[in-house]
Structure 1
Amino acid sequence: MEENRNSHQAIKEALQQQDYRLAERLAKAQLEEDPWDAQVWASLGEALLHRGYGEAARKVFNRAWLLDPEAGWMQSVQSELGKRETGAERYDIELLLLTKPVRLSAAVIARNEEETIEKCIRSVSNVVDEIIVIDYGSTDRTLDIVRKLPRVKLVQAEWHGSYARVRNEVHAHATGDWIVWLEANEMLHPDDARPIREAACLFQRFNMPVALDLVLLQRKNGALLQSFARSRMYPLGRGLFYEGKVYEHLKHRAASGTQLPLIRRKIRVRLQSISSLMHEGEKAGIRLELLQGMLQEQPDHPMWLFRCGQELAVQGRWEEALNYAREADRIGKTLNEFPKRLELAILELRLLVELQRWEEAERAAMIALVSFPDYPDFSYYLSQIHMRMAEERYREAERSLNLAMQGFATYRGPDPADHDIADWRRRYMMAELALDGGELAAADDEYRKLLKVFPEWEELKRRREAIQLEKDALENMEPRGTRNG
């Protein structure tokens, strides 16, 4: 680790001093030892770019991006590459990028997937060396579709109430050096046929088995959202296996039987979720049924309580989900270690927001920020909560003002009411509420009416001037062609 830091620093200094030949030499030497270091690949790309080797730099930057899918620099790099000459061929760089071929298997778990299974399989049919579909009880046309597709090995398995068992059964049928898992409603991005094989070849050289997280692209309300699908790709025959009836997870066991830590890395290989109404309710029901079975066996296990809360939340059963989440939190606090504390805090907060229990949500967000001060989601949720609380208070204030005005019409008590409220204070308060709510036109209209009564009230004049400035600024920002005429 210390050697890597020293190498990174030496390369960085060479780039800062614009000694690009030295930076290239240092980066190449480091990559001979550690070809999985995205930062060094990016530094090598920068050196090559400055030396006029545009095409070699492009290939090197793509390798860096494969190893660092969250890199924020790639857009500016691509823009810069477009301005540069291709440059002479660099055979030494081609050799550095070269990897030894491996055999790659793709696997898909299927049950009643007739809507998407063909598209899923065809997305990898010319990419991998074999495709295994394991079906655990389809009653629709899934089996007929799979049998008609070329190069697909169909395995029909009995359902024993364990997803781990289904996945482990595939290992016995796969002949590849590596395996990649796709859900039946996913497809490999068409541009990632080369990177998926490149990643398998590259990590085959790693001295320990590595599980690779792939990018998952999903559409929501028209937007393309990116997350990571955990441990979708890994080497076979190196002690990796699945554990857990539901929410199964990959484990690493040595030949001696000793459990070993699992190394995980993110790579830029993209899976796309295929839009489908396919039996998602049925699948969620199976997961929830399995989880409730686990809870019968281990009623005080916070992990199963947490997972039940997640599944119920997906189904929109917010109150039930919150009860499970809170029970998981209560038991989790009694343990020295519970690995899902962060995710549990997020779940509880999301549920309180969905239920519009703003004060409880505010407390939950504040507590979470104490435990996880650097996690940005909690600050975002807190801002959302405060905004909703402000809206609630705005509506309460409006209701109170309306009640006050009704009271002036009906009150006949011995103590005189403050008629300034009816005459002008209510109007001033309505203007303030409108301004706080961003209703500039309504606020300006109320201030205008007040100035007819109090023509020398300077504060009101300043407020109207500020509103006009804000209106002018908004009009200047308005795109051309949006106005009538």
Structure 2
Amino acid sequence: MSVATSDSPWRVLAETALRAKHWQDAIDVIRPQLEKVPTDAQAWVFLGEALEHIDDYGSAWACYDRGWILDPPAAWAPRVFERLRGHEDDPITPWVSQLLEVPPVRVMGAILAKNEASQIQRCIEALKPAVDDVVVVDTGSTDDTVAIARGAGATVIEVEWQNDFGAARRAADQVLGDTGWVLWVDADEFLNVEDVHVPRIVAGLYDKWDPPMLLRFVQVNHLGERIEPNYDTTRMYPLGRGLSWLGRIHEQIGFLNGPQPMQRGVARIRVDHWGYERDVMVQRDKYARNIRLLREWTKDEPNNAAAWGFLGRDLFISGKVEEAVDALYRAEANAMNDKTYGRIVEVRAVLCEALVRLKRLDEARVVAERAVASDPQHPSGWYWQAQVALLQADERINRAVESARQAQAVAPTYRGLVSFSPEIPMFLAPVVEADALKMQGRLHEAWQKYSGAARVKPDHAGVQQQLNRLRIEAERILQEPFKLPPQGIKPVK
């Protein structure tokens, strides 16, 4: 994949032209880059910016849309599309239309289902505009799932459930064929209507890539009042390249004939999903089922990093933290011998969280250090390194408070041979306690301790400085109006 680094010659020229507001010069630089590399998300965004400034709003909208398709986490997108709202149907300049064209590629839709009568039709109807045909793999429904799916126009394959999600998905391979692409969704996932054009676009863009491109979509998880996008779910891949589903549960796309080179990308194919809400998971007994199947997988393949990683994650989610730690350490060890395993950063993040939960902070610090060393671009390793450092600092500050108080408590009753400085209980220990209390944000208690120390040594510059700082901070707090944070927007189901 070609990536535009910050020092790419075309990018330097484009940014220079955009900053100088030389819009046509920018277009002249960006256009040949996109003719050569049509998957360059940043080039599409730059082109959209230039076109917007010459009032070619329809073309700008289309270019921004292509850039967002290729970089769905982009923070700029909501703001830009709100600004251009109303121009989405404006005409597109012919040369821009030509630049946006992609080869037509057959795209199939596939759904794995069991007892999904309440939502299978909605799932199919949402998917149909984006694909050429829909295949449903049913694993033994006892409700009307099969009849509803056929009535909605899907081809239904009925298979016997064998406690193996990978095998169930592979049952669709012959029906899907060996040309084009396939997009898999689950029956409780509903394709966003704004993205129905995306599967065919990305299939056309990546169809001839070698090694083959596997694409993640955006699973928009609705968790009560929260909405959390997940960008690590790989569900779209080219047919006829030897790829299919591997793994008993939390199945992954891979080569059936053993590891081979592949590429991974992400596309703005958003699906709304409510299946991870805790009530749904408990109602369907998904936690227990997942753990049962994962234990079977680890018995079948004891050296499989993915099996142990998923088992550790699901054990942690279900509250079995000690067992989770053991499984996650096994996953980490196995991953050292499996260079194709791509989720080690997740394993280490969950392992850090589990170790913190168990108050095994020294272990968590070491794991976080390994996470940062192996993937310094991923935020989770840095986060857990910071979190553990903060917790350990808090532990030490608590110890400082307790030790300073103990020094003051034992001094009056000490009758031993070795004498001690009378400043320890009268001045030094109270100042240490005050310093520690201030670090914890316990400002009123710190003020009282500093004030007591000041009565012992009124001219001590350090104590007076701390009292002045606390006084200034208190005055600043009192002057600033107290405001609650704004209420979040509630998701609409």
Output the CA distance in 2 between the equivalents of 1:297 and 1:20. 61
CA change 1:44–1:249 in 2 (3 A) is same
Residue 179 of structure 1 corresponds to which residue in structure 2?
182
- 1:254-273 matches, within 5 Å, as 260-273=260-273
Residue 216 of structure 1 corresponds to which residue in structure 2?
219
CA change 1:307–1:2 in 2 (3 A) is closer
- Per mean C-alpha deviation after superposition, the further-off stretch among 37-46 and 396-405 is 396-405
Equivalent position to 2:322, from 286, 297, 319: 319
Aligned length: 477
Output the CA distance in 1 between the equivalents of 2:128 and 2:2. 43
8 Å CA contact retained: 1:252, 1:261: no
CA change 1:350–1:475 in 2 (3 A) is same
8 Å CA contact retained: 1:187, 1:274: no
* Residue 188 of structure 1, CA deviation: 1.8
- 1:43-442 matches, within 5 Å, as 43-74=46-77, 77-78=80-81, 81=84, 90-99=93-102, 101-113=104-116, 117=120, 119-139=122-142, 141=143, 143=145, 146-147=148-149, 150-174=152-176, 177-204=180-207, 209-219=212-222, 222-252=225-255, 260-274=260-274, 276=277, 277-279=279-281, 282-330=285-333, 332-333=335-336, 335=337, 337=339, 339-340=341-342, 341-404=344-407, 407=410, 422-442=425-445
TM-score between the two structures when normalised by the length of structure 2: 0.80
Output the CA distance in 2 between the equivalents of 1:180 and 1:345. 30
* Residue 66 of structure 1, CA deviation: 0.8
CA change 1:23–1:447 in 2 (3 A) is closer
CA change 1:75–1:279 in 2 (3 A) is closer
8 Å CA contact retained: 1:146, 1:152: no
Output the CA distance in 2 between the equivalents of 1:295 and 1:92. 55
SS at match of 1:267: strand
| Residue identity opposite 2:302 in structure 1 | P
Equivalent position to 1:39, from 34, 39, 42: 42
- 1:461-476 matches, within 5 Å, as 461-476=464-479
CA deviations on 1:176-226 (whole Å, 9 max, x unpaired) are: 943221123322223322334433444446577532211122245744333
* Residue 90 of structure 1, CA deviation: 1.5
| Residue identity opposite 2:217 in structure 1 | L
* Residue 373 of structure 1, CA deviation: 4.2
- Per mean C-alpha deviation after superposition, the further-off stretch among 419-428 and 63-72 is 419-428
CA change 1:262–1:2 in 2 (3 A) is closer
Output the CA distance in 1 between the equivalents of 2:88 and 2:339. 55
* Residue 33 of structure 1, CA deviation: 4.1
| Residue identity opposite 1:319 in structure 2 | E
SS at match of 1:272: strand
Output the CA distance in 2 between the equivalents of 1:85 and 1:294. 49
SS at match of 1:69: coil
CA change 1:463–1:216 in 2 (3 A) is same
CA change 1:99–1:260 in 2 (3 A) is same
8 Å CA contact retained: 2:214, 2:265: yes
8 Å CA contact retained: 2:114, 2:139: yes
| Residue identity opposite 1:308 in structure 2 | L
Output the CA distance in 2 between the equivalents of 1:194 and 1:297. 41
Output the CA distance in 1 between the equivalents of 2:149 and 2:85. 46
CA change 1:454–1:227 in 2 (3 A) is same
| Residue identity opposite 1:31 in structure 2 | L
CA change 1:388–1:30 in 2 (3 A) is closer
CA change 1:383–1:458 in 2 (3 A) is same
Output the CA distance in 2 between the equivalents of 1:128 and 1:144. 20
8 Å CA contact retained: 1:240, 1:252: yes
TM-score between the two structures when normalised by the length of structure 1: 0.82
| Residue identity opposite 2:160 in structure 1 | E
- Per mean C-alpha deviation after superposition, the further-off stretch among 380-389 and 357-366 is 357-366
SS at match of 1:456: coil
SS at match of 1:123: helix
| Residue identity opposite 1:163 in structure 2 | F
Output the CA distance in 2 between the equivalents of 1:480 and 1:309. 41
CA deviations on 1:294-352 (whole Å, 9 max, x unpaired) are: 4334434444333432332232212112122323444555x484635444433432321
8 Å CA contact retained: 1:306, 1:344: yes
Output the CA distance in 1 between the equivalents of 2:158 and 2:91. 54
- Alignment RMSD (CA, Å): 3.9
Output the CA distance in 2 between the equivalents of 1:3 and 1:224. 30
8 Å CA contact retained: 1:42, 1:61: yes
Output the CA distance in 1 between the equivalents of 2:253 and 2:91. 45
| Residue identity opposite 2:164 in structure 1 | S
Output the CA distance in 2 between the equivalents of 1:74 and 1:23. 20
SS at match of 1:230: strand
Output the CA distance in 1 between the equivalents of 2:255 and 2:326. 34
Output the CA distance in 1 between the equivalents of 2:2 and 2:363. 46
- Percent identity, please: 26
8 Å CA contact retained: 1:136, 1:157: yes
